[in-house]
Amino acid sequence: MRNPECFGFPFGCASVVVAASVAGLLGSARHHVFSLLALGFVVLATGVATRLTATAGTAVIAWGVHSGFTVGTLGALQFTTETGVAALVFTAATAVGALARRFVHDARSESPHPLEGATRTRLSGPDTPAHPPPVGECDGDHRSREGSSWSARTQVA
């Protein structure tokens, strides 16, 4: 199974683009608060779902999109009081998301594991492996047993 945390920053960036597009359709060109709230929510959700570094990167991208495309035009970054407030909102969303992630993670770690208390017993001696290595039985193991029909059919001359 893949670790979903590995995709935090790309997830955040894609979510920023979607949220900014939806906010634009709702009229964020006139009412910049639509964009600020939508992007702040994306940063918060990214903070809960991913690591702090991915969330901080998402906050920077969100600020750039808000500053360059909602407040500014054609991606020209604006350094105004409004974009400063947006930076504070995104920073706060990053911090709150990281704290929420920590509480969620701590709550999960306190729940009992299904194998808690289970022990592993080794029946063989200390110098012998617990299980013999597989031969021709597992995916990726292309060794074959002597005399099997499979090895006879797949030999190359």
Mean local confidence (pLDDT), 142-153: 50
Low-confidence winner among 4-13, 32-41, 48-57, 102-111 (lowest mean pLDDT): 102-111
Average per-residue pLDDT for the chain: 78
Confidence at residue 74, expressed as pLDDT on a 0 to 100 scale: 87
CB environment 134-148: b (16+ within 10 A), e (fewer): eeeeeeeeeebeeee
In the prediction, which pLDDT does 107 show?
Answer: 61
pLDDT band at 29 (very low <50, low <70, confident <90, very high): confident
pLDDT, average across residues 110-138: 55
Q: Which residues of 37-61 are buried (b: 16+ CB within 10 A; e: fewer)?
A: ebbbebbbbbbbbbbeebbbbbbbb
- Map out the domains of the chain as residue ranges: 7-110
* pLDDT attached to residue 73: 84
Residue 152 confidence (pLDDT) above 50 = no
31-35, 61-65, 109-113: which has the minimum mean pLDDT?
109-113
Cβ pair 86, 36 in contact under 8 A? yes
Tell me the per-residue pLDDT of 72-120, one tens digit each, with 9 for 90 and over. 888 899 999 999 999 999 999 999 999 998 887 666 665 555 555 555 5
- Name the 3-class secondary structure at 125: coil
Rounded to two decimals, the pTM is: 0.65
Q: What percent of the chain has pLDDT over 70?
A: 62
